[in-house]
Structure 1
Amino acid sequence: MHVVPGLKVLYFGTPVVLISSRNEDGTANLAPMSSAWWLGQSCMLGLGNRGQTTANLLREGECVLNLPSSAMVEAVDRIAMTTGKAVVPEGKAAQGYRYEPEKFSTAGLTEQASDLILPPRAAECPIQMECKVVSATPFSGPTSFATAFHVEILRTHVEEELIIPGTHYIDPLKWDPLIMKFTEFFGGGQNVHPSRLAEGWNMPHQLQPATV
């Protein structure tokens, strides 16, 4: 039997993306997000308008989509409740977000120069996509709180061990993406780490991460 619960969150399960972008002063910003989908050599990104990443993409028109594996969950969680905005938006402050200008070092990740664009890649991420913004569209109606970005993927970097030998394909048995499911972290079908984001959003989950 189906019910109509009036769901407040519709993150049924999407890959976590660490978006690196360039701030006004030329420094790097790094932000986790999980509203992304790909088709061909293009990607659609859904980003809230309160974040530094949205401002950076609108101004600079470039970004890197870094895909962390599930093993990198701690690095992602370390910056989950941070923002690159020096003046933290009121709503985010109420949820526990704090200003952090050094996102890469806070996450414990390394800046790696891109080939075709200015924002750096996250060296530890097994998959990195250099992108340019094609278009930006207000999302969620006339009082939009988000922006839908269409980005074109200019170059994709993949760890060699993930490629099926002799092909241009990623081995799905070796690639274990970090998945965001209802603000919780999953990998290999299991909850892999407590989520600061779930706490900040007061989610009613009572999850116990799997032990290895």
Structure 2
Amino acid sequence: MGSFDPENYSHSDIYKLMVGAIVPRPIALVSTVDENGIRNLAPFSYFTAVCSSPPTLLFCPAVRASTQGRKDTLRNVLSTEEFVVNVVSWDIASQMNVTSAEVAFEVDEFELSGLTPVASAVVRAPRVAESPIQMECKLRNVVTISEQVGGASIVIGEIIRFHVREGLMNEFKIDPDKFNAIGRMGGPTYIRTLDRFEMERPKLRN
């Protein structure tokens, strides 16, 4: 088995190693607006739940070599302190991919991708109508790990409103067949969540 000290390799090599090893990753399609109401929509696969009381999640905008600064999403979150996480299903995979393009700040990724903005109940940022699960969030905290290329910030948000497509949920349990979520692997590879198995958690024996 090979061992690798990250200090001896470029951040791009370590990135490839991490995104190939930490899989599959769910995808947060994050919608935000700036102070002037300009919309932004971008996908993040460094995304997960934190806890359920209060309901909290996180995603991580990275510093890219091409921009060498904060992503539009992070700037908007810092200025408005709110955002929406739209979970990505198979039905909107190609549109999500369009929003990953690096474009000028003023470009509206809703228009670019053909996804439909719909007003949120609490926050100013719109939701993605085609997403089967949408979560309106208020910013709790931003932890900056590094501002150098390859670094990132952890954006922690409290979910203040859930929106779930009709028929997708029963007694607060999401039907995975109807959800048809996708995940990110390394590079351009994604997965569909169709091949599943179940294991009951072991019970302690006295």
TM-score range (shorter-chain normalised) is 0.7 to 0.9
Structure 2 CA distance for aligned equivalents of residues 42 and 147 of structure 1: 16
1:62 maps onto 2:69 in alignment: no
- Partner Cα distance (2:141, 2:28) in 1: 19
State the SS of the aligned residue for 2:177: coil
Secondary structure of 2:176's aligned partner: coil
User: How many residue pairs end up in the alignment?
Assistant: 173
Structure 1 residue 53, shift from structure 2 partner: 0.3
The yes-or-no answer on 1:172 pairing with 2:181 is: no
Partner of residue 112, structure 1: 118
Answer whether contact 2:25 2:183 (CA < 8 A) is retained: yes
Structure 1 length-normalised TM: 0.74
TM-fit CA distance, 1:188: 3.0
Secondary structure class of the residue paired with 1:124: coil
Structure 1: distance between partners of 2:104 and 2:34:
9
Which residues of 2 match residues 19-168 of structure 1 at below 5 A?
19-38=30-49, 39-40=51-52, 41-49=55-63, 50-85=70-105, 101-140=107-146, 145-164=151-170, 167-168=171-172
Name the CA shift for 1:170/1:140 in 2 (closer, same or farther; >3 Å). Answer: same
Identity score, percent? 28
CA deviation digits over 1:63-87, x for unaligned, max 9?
000012022111011122234536x
User: Alignment partner of 1:74: what SS?
Assistant: helix
Shift of residue 185, structure 1, vs aligned partner: 2.1
Q: 1:28–1:188: structure 2 CA closer, same or farther, 3 Å change rule?
A: same
Corresponding residue for 2:193? 188
Deviation at 1:48, TM superposition (A): 1.9
* CA RMSD of superposed structures (Å): 2.2
Tell me which structure has the larger Cα radius of gyration.
2
Whether the 8 Å contact between 1:15 and 1:36 is mirrored in structure 2 is: yes
Shift of 1:22: 0.6
1:27 CA drift (Å): 1.8
Q: Given residue 175 of structure 1, which amino acid in structure 2 is its aligned partner? A: F
Query: Is the 2:34–2:79 contact (alpha carbons within 8 Å) kept by the matching residues of 1?
Result: no
1:52–1:83 CA contact under 8 A, matched in 2: no
Instruction: For 1:71, give the aligned amino acid.
Output: D
Is this contact kept in 2: 1:179–1:187, CA < 8 A? yes
Instruction: Kindly state the Cα deviation for residue 143 of structure 1 after the two structures are TM-superposed.
Output: 8.5
Which string of whole-angstrom CA distances, capped at 9 and with x for unpartnered residues, describes residues 1-48 of structure 1? x33367533122211111000123212111111111102110121112
Contact map agreement 1:70 1:186 (CA 8 A) in 2: no
Give the Å deviation of 1:189: 5.9
